[in-house]
Amino acid sequence: MSQYRTFTAADAVDYARQFGGVENPESLVESQEIGDGNLNLVFKIFDRDGISRVIVKQALPYVRCVGESWPLTLDRARIEAEVLQIHGEYCPQHTVKILHYDPQLAVMVMEDLSSHAIWRGEQVNGVDYPQAAGQLGEYLAQTLFHTSDFYQHPHQKKADVIRFTNPELCDITEELFFNEPYEVHERNGYPRALEPLVASLRDDDELRQKVAGLKHRFLSHAEALLHGDVHSGSIFVAEGSLKVIDAEFGYYGPIGFDVGSALGNMLINYCALPGLLAPREAADAREKRLRDVSTTWQSFAEGFLALAAEKTQDRALARPGYAAEFLQKIWRDSLGFCGTEVIRRTVGMSQVADIKNIRDEAMKNECVRQAITLGRTLILAADRIEDADALIARVRQNG
Amino acid sequence: MSQYRTFTAADAVDYARQFGGVENPESLVESQEIGDGNLNLVFKIFDRDGISRVIVKQALPYVRCVGESWPLTLDRARIEAEVLQIHGEYCPQHTVKILHYDPQLAVMVMEDLSSHAIWRGEQVNGVDYPQAAGQLGEYLAQTLFHTSDFYQHPHQKKADVIRFTNPELCDITEELFFNEPYEVHERNGYPRALEPLVASLRDDDELRQKVAGLKHRFLSHAEALLHGDVHSGSIFVAEGSLKVIDAEFGYYGPIGFDVGSALGNMLINYCALPGLLAPREAADAREKRLRDVSTTWQSFAEGFLALAAEKTQDRALARPGYAAEFLQKIWRDSLGFCGTEVIRRTVGMSQVADIKNIRDEAMKNECVRQAITLGRTLILAADRIEDADALIARVRQNG
């Protein structure tokens, strides 16, 4: 049994030689730490030709937030590795491959994705991947269906609920998604100019009652093994390819949380584009983003229904019509969680490059304002937005 | 550490002397096994004066169903004891007191309730306990509120979800409540004369889709630590007193399941009364049963809302109005689960004395027919029955 120690660059190379599954392990000679250093160390391991071959990722025993340290269990490395292994079993084409992990060292070795780029960065730069949204929908359908009550034996599902109980990472979501953006809180990161708008969220009883309902569902609806943080920053894309990474927030939760997180980040990008690109390019990229929103949902919904029709194991849940009825619950949840994702990434602490990269301050404020009002609309109107077309109409109406 | 062995009458006396908390342990001299012997041994322990002083209950490693043996974990004794301890912490006045339990022996010692009678038997005989329904509502409010996300810290709640994961007993409910009554199944226990009616349940797509939704919520909505089997046979009553026993089906599930199970058994009694009592007494007892239904819900709802207003710990769930909104979800769930309870106890395997004690066969069939149609109505119309008054109107309309 190994003992936890923080890896050096040399440790990472040694480890990759042992567990990287590379044919000539001795060809691995160098590493570079590419993580942001707040939550994890992430080492790229290079061979003699300077080509990166595998990734070594180690969890740190704390997360550095704005000005304070938040201690975090190393068990999240186990959860991340095991979620990705299970998701990889059901959707290998869109889940990063885990080659090895060690629970004591809180370290995992995984495939190198240097040929890919982080989707968020590409969206910020106006680079389009027309296939990505459909592939993301497929990932969501495969992973969420196969870990749900439709497919899992009740005993296996109950055992997995235990195995993926993730109190500390859920804690972060419970605070950052559902509490802080609606309170006066030092960690919030919205522009000061928007104080009146943000104050109006705090004073909106109906909104906060809806957010309470979403938080309650996040706390109690154990529908499937979620990724828990599917945003465009945890998705790698390349021409024809999409790979999801970073599943340390994984746990058994409401399916709409994953779907809504994915859609929410597309809508933040939609709101930010006028601040990121020239007007004509921005308008064009916005249309593509709306296409992505629609395609992600359609791909997920069709995939989920097809899997339900073909592979449902539970005798009661297999009734014709039930999966489609449940999909309506997922859709309503998705819209609400999508709204909370948009708000937590604009009002709250977890600011994103889509917004941060806008240089003109007035423009940035206007984009954020638009995102916040959209997020609020989605939370309030979740039960009245019938389908993806209606969602897109609402987005356009918002500005 | 003790090892499991099946208790003899003498073992039970010895054990009660050790752990019964009786002042003169040597005064305990005799025991009588009073269980049905299918799931558990239940010993009454008597003193020299022939007065029963404590109960010793031991779980057997199997449950004997119609003609077959269903192996069952002894861990259910731990779950039963620990659920009753937690419920007893929040509602000592209406939870049987656990004096001691031993997980290895799967045995517990608890207070003697000889001064009480099983409520079902009293209802069958037309004996009224006007205070009981209000007390049951109070038990439900106290136990379900205090173990919910409103009150529990998320870390504690997640730990308790693990601690009360109850796969084998949930399995029984999943089969007997939600599958078998809607299928051709050898364990079903309805009168043969009602075959056409029961067949019409199997053929009712809308009904079975609703039952699928209820089963899915039973499988995935971890809202509170349920008793899991609150029916009139697991409730003791006396003048001014009510005590709930038998919590081996406890787990974290939808609050409406406990509330619905409780209401469902009152409604079965309502349907059975014309077969149990003379016409005038039956009519009178039926009114009292409807009063019980209404009082149980009102007492639960008022209790839950008052506790939510006073004691909610979660910052988001504490929003004014949210508890009342969530209570609407509980009400809809309760009606649906109430319907499945009525059907599983008339169509399914778990037949009850209210029906079994009806001597006239034609009358029995008519009572069962009424119960089945009522159960079906409640499942189908759960979203459209606004409140307890509307429920009672539906019950009267049913016949």
| pLDDT value at A69 more than 80 | no
Whether residues B315 and A158 touch (CB distance < 8 A) is answered with no
Residues in CB range of B80: below 8 A, 6 or more apart: B59, B108, B246, B247, B248, B250
Q: How far is A263 from chain B (nearest CA, A)?
A: 23
pLDDT by position in tens, chain B (length 399): 468 999 999 999 999 999 999 999 999 999 999 987 678 899 999 999 999 999 999 998 876 554 456 677 888 999 999 999 999 999 999 999 999 999 999 999 999 999 999 999 999 999 999 999 999 999 999 999 999 999 999 999 999 999 999 999 999 999 999 999 999 999 999 999 999 999 999 999 999 999 999 999 999 999 999 999 999 999 999 999 999 999 999 999 999 999 999 999 999 999 999 999 999 999 999 999 999 999 999 999 999 999 999 999 999 999 999 999 999 999 999 999 999 999 999 999 999 999 999 999 999 999 999 999 999 999 999 999 999 999 999 999 998
What pLDDT band is residue A1 in, cutting at 50, 70 and 90? very low
Strands (E), B114-218: 117-118
Contact B301, A187 (CB under 8 A): no
Whether residues B161 and A158 touch (CB distance < 8 A) is answered with no
Distance CA A52, CA B116 (A): 75
Domains of chain B plus CATH, in order, are 9-111 (3.30.200.20), 117-398 (3.90.1200.10)
Whether residues B149 and A320 touch (CB distance < 8 A) is answered with no
Lowest mean pLDDT among A59-63, A121-125, B164-168, B219-223: A59-63
Please name the member of A162, A213, A221 whose beta carbon is closest to the beta carbon of B165.
A162
Residue A64 is predicted with a pLDDT of 59
SS3 content of chain B, % helix, strand, coil (to 5): 55, 15, 30
Mean pLDDT of A277-304: 98
The neighbour count for residue A41, using CB atoms within 10 Å, is 22
What pLDDT band is residue A37 in, cutting at 50, 70 and 90? low
Contact A245, A96 (CB under 8 A): yes
Q: How far is B197 from chain A (nearest CA, A)?
A: 20
Contact B291, B267 (CB under 8 A): no
| pLDDT value at A110 more than 70 | yes
Binding-site residue ranges of B: 40, 57, 111-113, 229, 246-248, 344
Q: How far is A310 from chain B (nearest CA, A)?
A: 17
In degrees and rounded to multiples of 5, residue A352 shows phi and psi of: -120, 160
Distance CA B149, CA B380 (A): 29
**Preferred mutation among B209, B304, B337, B383 to probe A, highest tally of A CBs within 10 A:** B209
Mean pLDDT of A48-60: 95
Please name the member of B209, B219, B320 whose beta carbon is closest to the beta carbon of A205.
B320
Whether residues B209 and A170 touch (CB distance < 8 A) is answered with no
| pLDDT value at A65 more than 70 | no
Q: How far is A89 from chain B (nearest CA, A)?
A: 23
| B383 Cβ under 8 Å from any chain A Cβ | no
Burial-class residue B199 by CB neighbours within 10 Å (0-12, 13-18, 19+).
Answer: exposed
